[in-house]
Structure 1
């Protein structure tokens, strides 16, 4: 169960220190031993996950590190068997994160993204913002044009991005009806509404709504096209 340095005994020692004293130095070292900056994880990362989840109810550092490991689970880490063994811990983590979301914490968006990853929706966890300045690139399923989807305070539209002209030929998005949402879109929207996150909830209806291609004028579902291109192969 080696970490990013190839050590097999350092992470258990650091976890024991963190459990005893919640020391900042121990958490800092755990962070860079379990997850590299390029979002690589290691066998020790998944071996540590159940203990991190147990600590997460009383430690924001444990909750954050566990969330980062879960978000990285879609990568090419070669630890699929270890990840499968974490299913119970991840289910427990989902419940813990949901309780934390209900408290409307300052780190709401980060917790929301970790919750999405714990649901196995890694592509949304990686890109979802707060819808103040969000852009998504999708290919039109009909003409293959690269379409920019903007959802933010400046507008909610589809466009063809031009180097000189910016977002050209804008077309207003067509948000989904909350009652028409299903799957992860429905879960995301209902959770945001429950917790009073109005801007987030409205952004989700646009993200899971429809866009018109500025090039061929065909209409397509934004989330379906984005997910088909970005959903990781597990």
Structure 2
């Protein structure tokens, strides 16, 4: 049983979230959903005890409510670092497991919000850095540091090309080198899961982008070759 008297929301209140949850459980109340989003996820992407406490009830609603699914996803995406909610989040393990299955079923239906759902599922898997940055590979850029000479390298995967380069703010991306995508059999871990999920669901552009993201790049400065995803994750994975 949640002790809501201790579950303050983004604005320091302890009474509004349980009232709002009760309202949306009775009916699809747009005004209540709007206020709940305002109280559970701060604009700077922080969550608070009431956000985590509300998660199990939101997950129960999520199979029938897109609003509940989206709000639960936003809470999970913002849980990196947990903002002092570690114990509360650990207590939501069953709800998070249920949410994982729900999101995967939704992906299999090939919905219009496929990428958003894919990113929510990455957050459920605690891959917060990929959840935050993964795009549709129409115009994606990633900044990494060469592990050999420490120069900042721009990685482009999209309509402008698939290359590594040195970004010059006057000349643009200079000294471009083509990326070397990973072959499916060489992928492992989260990269393999991401790729295979996209392929399973017929998301060819997403799968191809992931193969490039988890492939190799050549540094334009020192000509060394490195794994893009490894270097990006090393710099951007949150400290838990």
Separation in 1 of the partners of 2:24 and 2:34? 10
TM-score of the pair, normalised by structure 1:
0.99
Alignment of 1:114-125 (within 5 A): 114-125=120-131
In 2, the alpha carbon distance for the partners of 1:75 and 1:29 equals 25
CA deviation after TM superposition for structure 1 residue 112, in Å = 0.3
Which of structure 1's runs of 4+ aligned residues deviate more than 2 A?
Answer: none
Partner of 2:70: 64
- Aligned-pair Cα RMSD in Å: 0.7
Match among 146, 170, 174 for residue 168 of structure 1: 174
CA distances 1:66-107 after superposition (whole Å, capped 9, x unpaired): 000000110451111111111111111010000000000010
Kept in 2: contact 1:40–1:75 (CA 8 A): no
Structure 1: any 5+ residue segments left out of the alignment?
A: none
**Per-residue CA distance 1:138-161 (angstroms, 9 max, x = gap):** 000000000000000220000000
Partner of 1:86: 92
Q: Which residue of 2 aligns with 1:49?
A: 55
Q: 1:32 aligns with which of 31, 35, 38?
A: 38
Map 1:47-196 onto structure 2 (within 5 A). Answer: 47-75=53-81, 77-196=83-202
- Of 11, 16, 40, which residue of structure 2 is paired with 1:10? 16
Which residue is equivalent to 2:28? 22
Q: Residue 223 of structure 1 corresponds to which residue in structure 2?
A: 229
Q: 2:220 aligns with which of 214, 218, 232?
A: 214
Structure 1 SS opposite 2:142: strand
User: Which 5+ residue runs of structure 2 have no aligned equivalent?
Assistant: 1-6
Name the SS for the 1:77 alignment partner: helix
Aligned residues: 234
Write the distance in 2 (CA, Å) between the matches of 1:154 and 1:6: 46
